[in-house]
Amino acid sequence: MTGIAIILIACSNTESKEKPTLKEAFKNKFLIGAALNTGEISGKDTAGLRILATHFNSIVAENCMKSEVIHPLEDQFNFTLSDQFVDLGEKQDMFIIGHALIWHSQLSPWFCVDENGENVSADVLKERMKTHINTIVGRYKGRIKGWDVVNEAILEDGSYRKSKFYEILGEEFIPLAFQYAQEADPDAELYYNDYNEWYPGRRETVTRLIRTLKERGIRIDAIGMQGHLGMDSPTLEEYEETILAYNKEGVNVMVTEFDLSILPFPKAGIGADLSANFDYQKELNPYTEGVPASIQEAWNARMLSFFRLFIKHADKISRVTMWGITDQDSWKNDFPVRGRKDYPLLFDRDNQEKPVVQMIINEAKQ
Ligand code: G3I
């Protein structure tokens, strides 16, 4: 081998070792996070964990802290996975987020009803919420740095979702949940998290909620704007308007649950409404053999333009969290149609970083 060849190999090795990472690129801007599933939390998905350690500095529990998992029966908690999740985060020096304390979906069946299936009284529900929040937040006090306290309680038209919590306690269930969380760990950040917040009705009610909590001396630190995006909706301007509206209320904005589906939506405006399910049709699953170059380019451009927006508003945004690490893991493969092949994340099915990652990093450096 010639001297020049040796130098070239040495240089290319150095280059691959020093390939810029997302967390370095966003170091002075915002945290960059990922949702972890069971494979990663249990340590089985070693490739996913390598990507996590290289590119991310924050984690959120995709499923293991939902009430049906962590609190399956009134007198029974299951902390097996959530303990592993928090241990993993601490070992890797991650900013750890708990998701989600009060959510109508994946709700433990016992939570809001008595043994006859009838709604419990307001006092009983308050007590149950308090125990639930106290036990979980208390267990991870000082370790979990931020909590999605209430998830998806408001609808696109600005009205409250008619969940069991709402039926029994009215709007009051939200301030109560924040109060209980604040009491359980006064140092943890507290968040309200929702999807489709670019709809004016929803944005206005969330804004009113922030004001109400603040007026009553109850802390709310940030609003999570879920970023389950499609190729056509929302527009950058719609998303930006909501960032600005929340910033005006004096809270941080977090881009949570970020993914960009490349597939056609069977119906507009579904967001992350888990009750929406559509039958499989071949036309709704067009990229089983790979994505054509022109479509991929459009996806890259849209992903990049959203990161450009986040960078522009880095003074208002405290965290951007991807809803998963690789395309293989994404919930979008089964929503709103089961069994499709989607490509919504930053890392592909072979655990390789997509070209858009270095484009985003370059954008952050400018
Ligand atoms: O763990 C079981 C497994 O034992 C079983 O074999 C398998 C059979 O389908 O199901 C597995 O559970 C699934 C679980 O994900 C873990 O993969 C559930 O069926 C499935 O409903 C669940 O979906 C999750 C969904 O929330 C409902 O909790 C998605 O992974 C998760 O990405 C999604 O996340 C939500 C956020 O929490 C809130 N915002 C919307 C977002 C997307 O829906």
Which pLDDT tens digit goes with each residue over 34-80?
A: 999 999 999 999 999 999 999 999 999 999 999 999 999 999 999 99
Ligand 1 close to Cβ of residue 225 (< 6 A)? no
Ligand 1 close to Cβ of residue 277 (< 6 A)? no
> What is the distance in A from the centroid of ligand 1 to the CA of 349?
19
> Has residue 196 got a pLDDT over 60?
yes
For 67-76, the pLDDT digits (tens) are 999 999 999 9
CB atoms within 10 A of CB 106: 13
Tell me which residue has tokens 């069971």: 38
Which pLDDT score is estimated for 269?
A: 82
For 321-342, the pLDDT digits (tens) are 999 999 999 999 999 999 999 9
> What is the distance in A from the centroid of ligand 1 to the CA of 358?
30
* Interacting residues of 122 by C-beta distance below 8 A, sequence separation 6+: 168, 169
Kindly tell me the sign of the dihedral angle through the C-alpha atoms of 121, 124, 127, 132: negative
- Residue 273 binned pLDDT confidence (cut-offs 50, 70, 90): confident
Ligand 1 close to Cβ of residue 331 (< 6 A)? yes
Which pLDDT score is estimated for 17?
A: 60
Assess contact for 210 and 216: CB atoms under 8 A.
no
- Residue 275 binned pLDDT confidence (cut-offs 50, 70, 90): confident
